[in-house]
Structure 1
């Protein structure tokens, strides 16, 4: 009887842990712009290529060149993002209007973290970067921040470990050749292209196994 009670208690504990982990990391099946949850990732999809999409790969071949974090307050909904003027809270309606394609629909793929993630702490981290300048040169330090770096540096699990690892930065084409557009950009500022430096990009985040992405344009 005692053994049965121990087994029963262990099964109950496992069930509780499973439910609590699921509730914290993967919040339902409806992943869409109509059902955004705190911390959802909003990937901006382009209809035409640019230097970022030429050097990186989005999920299912989508041309993704930006990512923002959904943030909800009692009074409004926002896109927490790193853009040219720095890390800012953009009203969600303004963000969606900015991302509309030729047919007038927002070209945004929504991603939700489906692994262990301490979302409260992650959002506190992300919000702490508000006002930080934008990193136009995509450097690995956090004196300045670019869009996917904001996500990578902010999201942590319940052990305080990063949900998203860094990867070698990519400024090259499919043949491994650094694109002329990036060579010219960095040469103008008398800098070396940071090819291979630790970093991240929005396309890579969209393909990360920690994220489930849906889109309907």
Structure 2
């Protein structure tokens, strides 16, 4: 791994993953983007994780479908996510060792595929909000542009046998970015891993 590049990264950095070609990623991007045009979907984020820097080792803690809340080496994360931007919280005096300790206590929880706070587990941005509850605020969730709901979500929630939580408090990677509480640090190029 490139030592110069990894020296830029800090404990507690947030890793935002761009929309990819997978259908679920596309649906999330269309639902949470400020503008849902085909041209800007690749610039929208559909996943977020937190970085743990432990001496020279780098790990990623996050919530993912099928695996739940996990910790994995950064190199493994980058093999699965090849278009990642690094952001750093603007707020000073955050005890990131304590934040990472808290994140480790959440490991093993299931993935919250309902995106409903009362349901067990965590989805990716819910995991991050749990770590920074005094920084990020929840916002009304959207499942389509301009107060609409995409057809894919109707089928998704029908299979879960749950109502669509449109407008309920929640989060998404894009809603975290829109709060303007982070600074862009760098992009991790796809060839990095």
TM-score, scaled relative to structure 2: 0.81
Which has a greater percent of strand? Answer: 2
- Aligned counterpart, 2:105: 128
* Bigger CA radius of gyration: 1
Change (3 A) 1:35 1:97: same
RMSD (Å), alpha carbons: 2.2
- Aligned counterpart, 2:59: 78
Task: Give unmatched runs, 5+ long, in structure 2.
Answer: 35-39
Conserved 8 A contact 2:20-2:26: no
Task: Give unmatched runs, 5+ long, in structure 1.
Answer: 1-31, 101-106, 157-161
Change (3 A) 1:190 1:142: closer
- Aligned counterpart, 1:185: 156
SS across alignment from 1:77? strand
Aligned mate of 2:72, from 65, 70, 90: 90
- Higher RCO structure, 1 or 2 (CA under 8 Å, sep 6+): 2
- TM-superposed CA distance for 1:169, in Å, is 1.1
- Aligned counterpart, 1:28: none
- Aligned counterpart, 2:88: 112
- TM-superposed CA distance for 1:97, in Å, is 1.3
Cα offsets for 1:20-67 (capped at 9, x unmatched)? xxxxxxxxxxxx765110010000012446110001127xx5221100
Q: Measure, in 2, the Cα distance between the counterparts of 1:75 and 1:132.
A: 27
- Aligned counterpart, 2:81: 99
- Aligned counterpart, 1:69: 50
Count matched residues.
173
Change (3 A) 1:142 1:120: farther
Q: Measure, in 1, the Cα distance between the counterparts of 2:160 and 2:118.
A: 18
Find runs of 4+ consecutive structure 1 residues off by over 3 angstroms: 214-217
SS across alignment from 2:8? coil
- TM-superposed CA distance for 1:99, in Å, is 1.3
TM-score, scaled relative to structure 1: 0.72
